[in-house]
């Protein structure tokens, strides 16, 4: 049996998305910047996709800018938001994705900003009182806090963060890569200046995403070149990728409640089976359905022989999962997220992440294999 429980790293392409992309690849190959019929067809397709996304998020198409994915979108929002608005202070948490942390740390190292870290508890929850104090005690700030943590699944109340940022005139950027298509985002109400998406996290193609930039603020382009994306991002557009992105988000919104119930059921079932079958099992981050991302479950295993071989043994058994963030898999560096929440370093941790294609049979198979490979000490 082959089991794919690494959907927080990437998701399989939805057949309907593939069909949409293939149609574009086959017949709409024109350069969107060309003025002839082939180019106009491609341009129309891009603008139709932009409008589809904007309608789903209750915003204007003028606020959606296509990118190569979440990392580019995060970098653009952070670098341009800070520099173009002359900000000297930024606030983030130590739990952010490296696309955010490394960008802000590099800007602090070169003296562009002073960087502050908001406190978090042992489950990864933001200390909102501390966030407000940081906003009060410093000059106008740039705040970057993700909606859901990609490793442990803990949710941040971005509505509350947005309200605080508005109160203290701060710019607010949220990495919503893990929640886009899994939660609704109403940008007519959410007080956010930058928000990001990466298509491959919601059964779309790799190499494409978007950055939402609130119309109330202006930034200069990070990538110079042609006049694409209304002079905000030079380079010929990924036309079939953009078509796939729009289709994947459209499907996600149409099927969201059904998929959420299914995936939450899979996650809850795995929690129950692990507790029943493996003594001493634990979980990193929040597992309360109201406080956690329903697609992610970070499991902390009791001390065992050959703990460092757990992921390898799962792979041998045909089970794909991650040891924390997949973006750092294959390195010897421990998870910065688990370190920041004070997780026990002597316990192996595995992130299992689910999708609409996950099944209870796969959970049963995985739990059975875990019992075989864990070699739990008495």
Task: Describe the strand order of the beta sheet including 171-174 as a list of residue ranges.
Answer: 64-67, 209-213, 194-198, 171-174, 141-144, 89-92, 114-117
Instruction: Provide CB contacts within 8 A for 314, sequence distance 6+.
Output: 320, 321, 350, 366, 369, 370, 373
> CA 138 to CA 114: how far, in whole Å?
10
Annotated active-site residue in 80, 165, 327, 374: 327
Give a three-class secondary structure readout of 274-341: HHHHCCCCEEECCCCCCCECCCEEEEECCCECCHHHHHHHHHHCCEECECCCHHHCCCCCCCHHHHHC
CB neighbourhood size of 359 (10 A): 13
327 is catalytic: yes
CB neighbourhood size of 53 (10 A): 24
What tokens appear for 125 in the block?
Answer: 């929850």
Instruction: Provide CB contacts within 8 A for 254, sequence distance 6+.
Output: none
Helix (H) or strand (E) run with residue 4 in it: strand 3-4
CB neighbourhood size of 161 (10 A): 24
What tokens appear for 180 in the block?
Answer: 């886009």
CB neighbourhood size of 225 (10 A): 11
> CA 178 to CA 160: how far, in whole Å?
19
Q: Can you list the positions of beta strands (E) in 93-170?
A: 114-117, 141-144
> CA 27 to CA 24: how far, in whole Å?
5
Q: List the catalytic residues.
A: 327
């Amino acid at each position: 049996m082959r089991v794919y429980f690494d959907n927080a790293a990437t998701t399989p392409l939805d057949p309907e998305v593939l069909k949409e992309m293939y149609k574009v690849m086959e017949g709409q190959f024109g350069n969107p910047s060309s003025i002839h019929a082939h180019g106009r067809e491609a341009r129309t397709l891009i603008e139709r996709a932009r409008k589809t996304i904007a309608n789903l998020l209750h915003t204007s198409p003028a606020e959606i800018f296509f990118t190569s994915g979440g990392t580019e979108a995060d970098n653009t929002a952070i670098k341009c938001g800070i520099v173009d608005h002359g900000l000297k202070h930024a606030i983030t948490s130590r739990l952010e994705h490296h696309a955010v942390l490394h960008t802000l740390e590099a800007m602090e190292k070169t003296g562009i900003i002073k960087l502050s870290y908001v406190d978090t508890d042992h489950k990864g929850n933001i200390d909102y009182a501390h966030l407000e104090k940081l906003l009060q005690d410093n000059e106008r700030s740039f705040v970057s806090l993700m909606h859901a943590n990609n490793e442990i699944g803990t949710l941040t109340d971005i509505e509350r963060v947005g309200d605080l940022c508005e109160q203290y005139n701060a710019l607010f950027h949220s990495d919503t890569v893990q929640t886009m298509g899994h939660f609704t985002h109403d940008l007519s109400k959410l007080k956010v200046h930058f928000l990001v998406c990466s298509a491959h996290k919601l059964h779309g193609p790799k190499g494409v995403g978007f950055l939402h930039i609130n119309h109330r603020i202006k930034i200069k382009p990070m990538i110079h070149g042609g006049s694409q994306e209304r002079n905000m991002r030079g380079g010929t557009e990924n036309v079939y990728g953009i078509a796939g992105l729009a289709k994947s988000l459209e499907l996600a919104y149409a099927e969201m409640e059904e998929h959420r119930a299914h995936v939450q059921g899979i996650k809850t079932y795995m929690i129950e089976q692990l507790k029943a079958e493996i003594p001493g099992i634990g979980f990193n981050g929040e597992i309360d359905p109201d406080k956690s991302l329903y697609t992610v479950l970070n499991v902390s295993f009791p001390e065992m022989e050959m703990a460092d071989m757990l992921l390898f043994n799962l792979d041998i058994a045909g089970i794909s999962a991650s040891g924390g963030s997949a973006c750092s898999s294959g390195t010897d560096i421990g998870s910065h997220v688990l370190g920041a929440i004070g997780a026990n370093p002597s316990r192996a941790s595995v992130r299992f992440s689910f999708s609409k294609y996950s099944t209870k049979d796969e959970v049963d198979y995985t739990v059975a294999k875990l019992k075989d490979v864990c070699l739990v000490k008495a």
